Structure 1
Amino acid sequence: MKNLNDRSIVYLAIFTAVIVGGAAPVFAKIALKETSPALFTFLRACLSTLVVLPFLIKYRIKLDKNLIKTILVTLFLTANFLIFAYGVRLTTASISQIIYVISPVVIAGLSYLILNERVNSKKVLGIILGFIGAGVIVILPVLNSNPFSGNLIGNLLIMLAVLTFSLYSVLSKKLHINFSPIQIVIVLSFTTLFAMAPLTLYEVLTSGTKIFNISRLALFSIFYVGAIMTVAYYTLHQYAIKHGSPLAASTIVYLQPVATFVWAAVLLGEGLTPGVIVGGTIAFLGTYFIINASSKKEIIDIEQKL
């Protein structure tokens, strides 16, 4: 009975993580209707920093060369936040999430190039399918004028965001020797905050961006992405890995785009085109082969980075 209850809780954690994570691109797009990508990223960093601030008392971080390395690596994720904001503002929330499905594919490819990790035939097939699927989605705006096909520049920016996210994921692997996950999140939050502060200040002073002229819906959207995603999503994700299995947690990768589509359809009126469905299906297959061909340890590494 206890195992059944534990399993039910794991499934509930996965389901909740899918719902919470799936809404993030939608609320980001809502907020970006009233804020610039730079201001959105800065405010997001402010909220995430407030969330992790209490942990700074317990998890003290020494100022040394390891911290400097960590700051440099987390700058890739800071760039990811900003690039994603520019991309999702131009394309659809649904497409942005579908393109992110290939993150494990890109991580596998970069791990081979940077860390010399072994790549078997299934992983090679997964990498090929993943990039074909993403490529189909990215070029759809050139072939089809349907607004639900997204925007070419926006789609390319989302691909660039996936690349910076994947680079961070691969390079951050060695950071865990000296820092715990929560310490890395603390460094990330402060790095993003300080990196975005001068850019945001310059934008406010030169372009007349109004920080205090934002609707309640946009403010809630920023709060959702900056605070709720930081606490709820990643806590549920790690719970699913620890108390379930990496394979069970990997279902989040497949189900989250579905949740995003539902959120986007309800709140933004978005839809999917046949081309997006075809490209997304190919990308899903690529990710499936990557995860299916990975060892248990490799799956844990992949899942902890997503």
Structure 2
Amino acid sequence: MIKDTTKAHLALLGANAIYGANYIIAKGIMPNKINPTGFVFIRLSCCALLFWIIKFLFIKEKVKKKDLLMLALCGLLGGAANQMLFFHGINLTSPIDASIIQTATPVLVLIFSIIILKERVTKNKLIGITIAGIGAIFLILYGNKTVGTSSFLGNLLVFLNASSYGLYLVIAKTLIKKYHAITVASWLFLFGFIYVFPFGINDFLNTDFAAFTTSTYLTIGYVVLFTTFFAYLFNIYALNHLAPSVTSSYVYLQPVVSFILVSVLAYIFAQTQYAQDINFIKILCCVLVATGVYIISKPQKK
């Protein structure tokens, strides 16, 4: 019989493999088949519906009125802003760049925790933040000079996406302790959908669904079901059995998956737009970010 901890590690492996593939899969249909804002509209509406169905069937839990304002803020940061910035960012830049920048999320969470939660600053944290910050900032700026599918604006939007998500994680900390994760997710996606509705409804209605192929529908299904729904459930399961430091370490799997898929597209399927997306500078930036987060996660010597 498989241990719960082993199942948790497998769940994290699956979740981060899904995230790693998402960078290139989601990019594949934008903007030719669907506008990024229209894509976000579909993702938030479908996920809100799925999570509310689960909550209605299995989680009989009410939210206090005083917490609705905090949930609304979480919906803005973790739902609407997070998704809009990510989809518009990945639409403009390389999947490699986006996956590397995303690994800076633990660093951003720490920075926001220091500012908001007054978490103690140690030497390891300061050194780690500096090293990871250099790697992330250099990669963002490098997007303006490099060839391939990278871009400065796209990299900046992905960084703002990671910042928005990191701030959401810090703010949502008290809510996650008070309520079931499905309850928080249900309200998160509902408020996110409400915020995006005025911007996304026209793009959704103006989308040429007649031009969608089977591949297009499979891509949208992957993003809705796997990247959002199943990956979120996998993370919830893992957090119940493993320490947060262990779960966050799996974020480094994402650029590995992205590197592999971009290499396959570039060198096996001859998609030349991706051929120059992997180079020494990007690998060095990835190493810097990974090193920074590793130093932060190391216990401080007394």
Fold-level similarity (TM above 0.5): yes
| Cα distance, 1:105–1:43 mapped onto 2, change above 3 Å | same
Residue 21 of structure 2 is matched in structure 1 by: 23
1:133-144 correspondence runs (5 A):
133-144=135-146
Residue 73 of structure 1 is matched in structure 2 by: 74
Tell me the C-alpha RMSD between the 2 structures.
2.4
Partner Cα separation in structure 2 for residue 186 and residue 32 of structure 1: 27
Q: Which of 88, 91, 106 matches 2:90?
A: 88
| Cα distance, 1:133–1:255 mapped onto 2, change above 3 Å | same
1:56 CA drift (Å):
2.9
1:203 CA drift (Å):
3.8
Residue 288 of structure 1 is matched in structure 2 by: 294
* 1:78-118 Cα shifts (integer Å, max 9, x gaps): 10100111110000112111101010101111111111111
1:142 CA drift (Å):
3.3
Residue 48 of structure 1 is matched in structure 2 by: 47
* 1:122-142 Cα shifts (integer Å, max 9, x gaps): 011111111100011111133
Partner Cα separation in structure 1 for residue 23 and residue 196 of structure 2: 20
Q: Which of 3, 6, 11 matches 1:13?
A: 11
Does the Cα contact within 8 Å between 1:59 and 1:183 map onto a contact in 2? no
How many correspondences in the alignment? 289
Amino acid corresponding to residue 132 of structure 1 in structure 2 = I
Amino acid corresponding to residue 132 of structure 2 in structure 1 = G
1:7 CA drift (Å):
5.4
| Cα distance, 1:11–1:275 mapped onto 2, change above 3 Å | same
Partner Cα separation in structure 1 for residue 6 and residue 202 of structure 2: 50
Is 1:64 paired with 2:65?
A: yes
Does the Cα contact within 8 Å between 2:75 and 2:190 map onto a contact in 1? no
| Cα distance, 1:107–1:251 mapped onto 2, change above 3 Å | closer
Partner Cα separation in structure 2 for residue 210 and residue 225 of structure 1: 19
Does the Cα contact within 8 Å between 1:122 and 1:290 map onto a contact in 2? yes
3-state secondary structure, aligned to 2:208 = coil
For structure 2, the 5+ residue unaligned runs are none
Residue 194 of structure 2 is matched in structure 1 by: 194
Residue 184 of structure 2 is matched in structure 1 by: 184
| Cα distance, 1:244–1:177 mapped onto 2, change above 3 Å | closer
3-state secondary structure, aligned to 2:120 = coil
| Cα distance, 1:248–1:117 mapped onto 2, change above 3 Å | closer
Amino acid corresponding to residue 72 of structure 1 in structure 2 = L
249-258 vs 98-107, greater mean Cα deviation:
249-258
TM-score by length of 1: 0.85
3-state secondary structure, aligned to 1:18 = helix
* 1:145-203 Cα shifts (integer Å, max 9, x gaps): x215x101111111111111111111111223543211110011111222222212234
Does the Cα contact within 8 Å between 2:41 and 2:204 map onto a contact in 1? no
Partner Cα separation in structure 2 for residue 170 and residue 264 of structure 1: 32
Percent identity between the two aligned chains? 27
Partner Cα separation in structure 2 for residue 8 and residue 55 of structure 1: 26
Amino acid corresponding to residue 221 of structure 1 in structure 2 = T
1:267 CA drift (Å):
4.7
Amino acid corresponding to residue 126 of structure 1 in structure 2 = G
| Cα distance, 1:143–1:203 mapped onto 2, change above 3 Å | closer
238-247 vs 226-235, greater mean Cα deviation:
238-247
Partner Cα separation in structure 2 for residue 291 and residue 121 of structure 1: 12
Q: Which of 96, 108, 117 matches 2:110?
A: 108
Does the Cα contact within 8 Å between 2:181 and 2:236 map onto a contact in 1? no
